[in-house]
Amino acid sequence: MTLLPYAAVVLTLLAGLSLVIFTALTGVPTLSSRGVEAADVIALLKHAKLARSAVIIDLGSGWGALVVALARAFPEATIEGIEISLLPYLISRLRASGLPNVRLRWGNFHRSHLRGAHAIVCYLMPSVMPGVGDLLDRHLKWGTAVVSNTFLFRGRKASAVRRGSRRGLVSLYFWPARYWVVDEYE
Ligand SMILES: C[S@@+](CC[C@H](N)C(=O)[O-])C[C@H]1O[C@@H](n2cnc3c(N)ncnc32)[C@H](O)[C@@H]1O
């Protein structure tokens, strides 16, 4: 009797468990940007007029859908992805293996250096956006382009938006993009 089917079941269960654990730890499931959303991210980055050799970082690069789309759209740029969840990270490495301008790191983007970034992209969840905003405040140079898929940064003013997807807007900020609401005169 072969052990292969049992090994396959155990591996599948471990893979599923690892996805559940990382989603619970980060509060962000590993969903991929859809084609239309990736197209909106690309259009907004083009609107931001990045240098050809720009460094674009995807915070939470998941299965690699967005980094692969960006690498094809900006062949002279360097696309970096940081992903904490092991299985999506490994799959993204396979997907991006033929793309020389992609660099993928396994780890927590809150512990990464982002100072070299000319642009940041992300597709996360509303609950983590304030913490990500604080992270970008600490690391980014003034005026760095930030594009968020679906979820907005509160208290920040988007310079442009695209509405290709029914799931929500894709928005472009030039960091820190702060605005204040003044309710009354003191
Ligand atoms: C919704 S997916 C988006 C994947 C990809 N950016 C895309 O648009 O196709 C978000 C990913 O962020 C990852 N993530 C969440 N918090 C993270 C953190 N602190 N460090 C690294 N990755 C993180 C999750 O594991 C998940 O895979």
Mutate to test the pocket of ligand 1, among 122, 123, 146, 167 (most ligand atoms within 8 A of CB): 123
Task: Report whether residue 175 contacts ligand 1, using a CB cutoff of 6 Å.
Answer: no
Domains present along the chain, CATH in parentheses: 29-174 (3.40.50.150)
pLDDT (tens digit, 0 to 9) for every residue of the chain, 186 residues total? Answer: 688 888 999 998 998 899 999 999 999 999 999 999 999 999 999 999 999 999 999 999 999 999 999 999 999 999 999 999 999 999 999 999 999 999 999 999 999 989 899 999 999 999 999 999 999 999 999 999 999 999 999 999 999 999 987 788 999 999 999 988 787 775
C-alpha of residue 2 to centroid of ligand 1, in Å: 37
DSSP 155: T
Q: Quickly tell me which residue has 């072969």 as its tokens.
A: 2
Task: Report whether residue 109 contacts ligand 1, using a CB cutoff of 6 Å.
Answer: yes
Report how far apart, in Å, the C-alpha atoms of 117 and of each of 58, 60, 159, 172, 186 are.
Answer: 10, 15, 19, 15, 39
Task: Report whether residue 89 contacts ligand 1, using a CB cutoff of 6 Å.
Answer: no
Q: Quickly tell me which residue has 């301008």 as its tokens.
A: 101
Total-model pTM: 0.94
